[in-house]
């Protein structure tokens, strides 16, 4: 490729184009102005979305990455711009989301002098990035960006940050771009070892009561088809983690529901009755395991995992299978015998019946006067034929939505799992909509989380992002209130909120909006929202003190999951 003499700033944009980037979320400021200036000439090739806060930009990039499988790109200026990214970086790090974040930095002679808007961004972001690097010479830009994309997307993905000094943005140099495909100190994934596969297959072939637990890794590895083929061949019931949601259709006969603290009754208690646990692309988070000492002790554990540090980290694996889930599942499929586990599966269905009668029925078809979150979620899912993308915030509404929303397609659930970041839904939904404009995108948030990033309504209005926003308003920091009720003698310490007029706020931003307070309005309101062309804010006032059940109290065994208080 011929070289061209251009500025560091232009090299940033050209390098991004070389990586196939057409979407950037960001917020400008002094130290990144040269890059923004270069961007001005490239508006035909790349669309930049100006958010209302850098946290909004990075969560949008996460939402975009999750629904597309591509790297999310985000710009911010030095100092406060960069520090506003931290929550998003931590979120992307723990949930393995590929991001490339570019921050401006003061000119290199000023580094370490407490210059205006200087902060040690590389130092601050070190624990919350997969890799970061400070660029002080324009010549380094193409290689740094090429490396950033390679690292962000391969292996176990994660966020990468490049901090580019202002003088490097201005400097002219001969630009040449070469993609990065290999770094000698970095092995993205281990080749799958056929002996490990064989050992796992032998255990599976002898299993009487096996269960598959699958997580985000299946989606990241694009291994949905292999997962389906594997469980269908072996007849093994499969349960998803919060981040595994949508990797398998909800109504698949072998899908037995969600694991974890507010997951389904069957998969939780049955994990402790299974003779073999096959975990695929999941990391035994404490919200899934409950008390580790009482977790799946009776079972042989098979762990398909790309990250060697996850194997034996929480739960010791009897048969680890290191590598990319798509490849290891393919090999496993070839080594397992066709089977079915009818009676064992029936045990799950019996559990479902118990859970339905005790919990689900009252959540999604309530008889009481007040509205429940569950019925709102059910209606939203039904009215979109279970084909929408669900973006949730954090708290009760997140758990209820994850329990009752149904999925037909993978990459349709966007939520903050590991970090539990309130304020995530609204900006992440922007990225999801931009990444998948043809899909209906719901953003579901509580009254608390909605107000953490409510200013992104400005972005949604400016770009007319057709997101269906549902605010499930219980006038409480509901999930915290639930814990206060159950474990702190109902001492509601600072969890009740005096909320603003959400409809008024939406209208002030120029968005269509409506408030629903009773059941007879609900279906029509959801329909109106869906019929409306463009963004819509639907506030639903729900019961103030409803609780999410089932529940595994912190520190309890999954066998002691509660169906009611």
Partner 1 sequence: MKQEYIITVFSEDHIGLLSRITIIFTRRKINIDSLTVSESAISGIFKFTIVINETPDRVQKVVGQLEKVVDVMKAFYNTNEEMIYQEIALYKVSTEFLFESDKVEKIVRNSGARILELTREYVVIEKTGHSDETQQLFDELNVFGVTQFIRSGRVAITRSNIERLSVFLKERDAMLEQVD
Ligand X SMILES: Cc1ncc(C[n+]2csc(CCOP(=O)(O)OP(=O)(O)O)c2C)c(N)n1
Please tell me which residue in 261, 399, 479, 529 is annotated as part of the active site.
479
Q: How far is the CB of 218 from partner 1 (least distance, A)?
A: 19
Can you tell me which of 27, 131, 404, 405 binds partner 1, judged by CB under 8 A?
A: 131
Give SS3 for 407.
coil
Q: Which is nearer to ligand X, 321 or 394 (CB)?
A: 394
The reply on whether position 508 binds partner 1 by CB under 8 A is no
CB–CB of 160/151 below 8 Å?
yes
DSSP 206: T
118 as an active site residue: the answer is no
The reply on whether position 188 binds partner 1 by CB under 8 A is yes
- Residues numbered 136-165 forming contacts with partner 1, rule: CB under 8 A: 151
Q: Which is nearer to ligand X, 15 or 421 (CB)?
A: 421
Binds 563: which of ligand X, Mg ion, partner 1, none (CB < 5-8 Å by kind): none
Structure tokens at 377: 């979620």
Q: How far is the CB of 127 from partner 1 (least distance, A)?
A: 6
Q: CA distances (Å), 442 to each of 24, 251, 431, 526, in order?
A: 21, 20, 12, 11
117 as an active site residue: the answer is yes
CB-count burial class (<10 Å; 0-12, 13-18, 19+) for 178: exposed
Give SS3 for 240.
strand
Per CB under 8 A, which region of 64-72, 182-190, 419-427, 431-439 contacts partner 1? 182-190
Q: 10 Å Cβ neighbour count for 353?
A: 13
CB–CB of 296/267 below 8 Å?
no
User: What dihedral angle (degrees, nearest 10) is formed by the CA atoms of 312, 314, 318, 324?
Assistant: -60
54 as an active site residue: the answer is yes
Residues found near Mg ion in the complex (CB under 5 A) = 446-448, 474, 476, 478
Residues found near ligand X in the complex (CB under 6 A) = 393-397, 420-423, 446-449, 472, 474, 476-480
Q: Is the peptide bond before 53 cis (omega within 30 degrees of 0)?
A: no
331 as an active site residue: the answer is no
Distance in angstroms (rounded) separating the CA atoms of residues 242 and 239: 10
Please tell me which residue in 4, 45, 116, 488 is annotated as part of the active site.
116
Please tell me which residue in 66, 147, 166, 326 is annotated as part of the active site.
166
- Residues numbered 249-308 forming contacts with partner 1, rule: CB under 8 A: 307-308
368 as an active site residue: the answer is no
Q: CA distances (Å), 265 to each of 134, 220, 261, 515, 563, in order?
A: 49, 27, 10, 34, 8
Q: Which is nearer to ligand X, 119 or 474 (CB)?
A: 474
Q: How far is the CB of 483 from ligand X (least distance, A)?
A: 9
CB–CB of 12/166 below 8 Å?
no
Residues in contact with partner 1 by CB under 8 A are: 122-123, 126-127, 130-132, 134, 151, 182-191, 307-309, 312-313, 324
Catalytically active residues are 54, 116-117, 166, 479
């Amino acid at each position: 490729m011929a070289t061209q003499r251009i500025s560091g700033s232009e090299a940033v944009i050209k390098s991004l184009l070389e990586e196939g980037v057409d979407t950037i979320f960001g917020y400008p400021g002094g130290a990144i102005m040269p890059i923004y200036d270069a961007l001005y000439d490239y508006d035909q090739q790349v669309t930049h979305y100006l958010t209302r806060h850098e946290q909004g930009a990075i969560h949008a990039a996460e939402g975009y990455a999750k629904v597309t499988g591509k790297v999310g790109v985000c710009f911010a200026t030095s100092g406060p711009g960069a520090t506003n990214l931290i929550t998003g970086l931590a979120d992307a790090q723990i949930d393995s989301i590929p991001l490339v974040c570019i921050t401006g930095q003061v000119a290199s002679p000023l580094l370490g002098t407490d210059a205006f808007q200087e902060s040690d961004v590389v130092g601050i972001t070190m624990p919350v990035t997969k890799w970061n690097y400070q660029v002080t010479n324009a010549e380094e830009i193409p290689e740094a960006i090429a490396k950033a994309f390679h690292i962000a997307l391969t292996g176990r993905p994660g966020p990468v940050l490049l901090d580019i000094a202002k003088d490097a943005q201005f400097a002219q140099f001969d630009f040449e771009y070469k993609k990065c495909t290999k770094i000698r100190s970095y092995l993205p994934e281990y080749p799958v070892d056929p002996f490990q596969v064989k050992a796992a297959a032998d255990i599976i072939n002898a299993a009487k009561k096996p269960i598959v637990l699958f997580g985000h890794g299946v989606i990241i590895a694009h291994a949905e088809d292999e997962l389906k083929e594997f469980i269908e061949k072996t007849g093994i019931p499969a349960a998803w983690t919060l981040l595994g949601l949508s990797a398998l259709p909800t109504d698949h006969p072998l899908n037995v529901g969600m694991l974890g603290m507010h997951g389904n009754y069957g998969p939780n208690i049955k994990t402790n009755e299974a003779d073999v646990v096959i975990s695929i692309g999941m990391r035994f988070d404490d919200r899934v395991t409950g008390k580790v000492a009482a977790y799946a002790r009776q079972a042989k554990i098979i762990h398909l995992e790309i990250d060697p540090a996850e194997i034996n980290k929480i739960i010791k694996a009897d048969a680890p299978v290191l590598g990319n889930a798509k490849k290891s599942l393919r090999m496993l499929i070839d080594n397992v015998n066709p089977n079915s586990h009818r009676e064992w599966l029936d045990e799950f269905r019996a559990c479902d019946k118990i859970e339905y009668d005790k919990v689900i029925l009252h959540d999604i078809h309530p008889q009481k006067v007040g509205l429940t979150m569950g019925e709102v979620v059910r209606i939203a899912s039904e009215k979109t034929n279970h084909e929408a993308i669900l973006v949730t915030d954090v708290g009760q509404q997140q758990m209820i939505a994850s329990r009752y929303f149904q999925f037909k397609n993978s990459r349709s659930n966007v939520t903050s799992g590991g970090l539990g970041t309130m304020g995530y839904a609204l900006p992440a939904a922007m990225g999801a909509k931009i990444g998948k404009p043809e899909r209906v995108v719901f953003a579901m948030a509580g009254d608390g989380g909605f107000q953490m990033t409510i200013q992104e309504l400005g972005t949604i209005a400016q770009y007319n992002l057709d997101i269906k926003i549902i605010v499930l308003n219980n006038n409480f920091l509901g999930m915290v209130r639930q814990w206060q009720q159950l474990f702190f003698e109902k001492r509601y310490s600072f969890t009740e909120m005096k909320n603003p007029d959400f409809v008024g706020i939406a209208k002030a931003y120029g968005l269509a909006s409506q408030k629903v307070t009773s059941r007879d309005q609900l279906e029509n309101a959801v329909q109106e929202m869906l019929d409306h062309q463009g963004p819509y804010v639907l506030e639903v006032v729900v019961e103030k003190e409803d609780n999410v059940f089932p529940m595994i109290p912190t520190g309890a065994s999954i066998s002691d999951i509660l169906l009611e208080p």
